[in-house]
Amino acid sequence: MTRLGAFLRRYRLDEVPQVINVLRGELAIVGPRPEWVSTAERYREVIPFYDQRTLVRPGITGWAQVNLGATSDEAGAMQKLSYDFYYLKHMSPMLDMEILARSIRTILRGDVTPRSRRRS
């Protein structure tokens, strides 16, 4: 990755173009993060109720992201799904504001890993 790419990724500036998707109504600011189609198809086959996370519009940031960050395996997908289900069950403007505040804090700090996943 180039230095510019690393800078953009560290401060989440590579996510800015997704604002266009929000303006089009294709994406929410807060909601379960969308998965690549191939990834979602694989998880649908091996993770029960995986499709339930699509009951709401996907978002730029979500409860799973502020608690776990990025994951790339089935175990991580199961953890994300549990956070997505928590979000679906407890959706509220207050929870959305907490998610936004934690996301903004992560961006401003340039954190790669959410505080809940850091090792002491």
- pLDDT per residue as tens digits for the range 22-37: 999 999 999 998 888 8
Structural domain of residue 7, as residue ranges?
3-115
Global pTM value: 0.74
- Beta-strand ranges (E) seen in the chain are 28-30, 59-61
In a domain, 90, yes or no: yes
Region of residue 25 (left: phi > 0; alpha: psi -120 to 50; beta: else): left
In a domain, 60, yes or no: yes
Q: What is the mean pLDDT of residues 50-66?
A: 90
Domain count for the chain, please give it.
1
In a domain, 100, yes or no: yes
In a domain, 120, yes or no: no
Tens digit of each residue's pLDDT (9 = 90 or more) over 60-117: 999 999 998 777 787 888 898 899 999 999 999 999 999 999 999 988 887 766 655 5
C-alpha 100/C-alpha 79 separation (Å) is 20
Work out the pLDDT band at 120, boundaries 50, 70, 90: very low
C-alpha 91/C-alpha 94 separation (Å) is 8
Mean pLDDT, all residues of the chain: 84
Q: Cβ of 88: how many Cβ atoms within 10 Å? A: 15
In a domain, 32, yes or no: yes
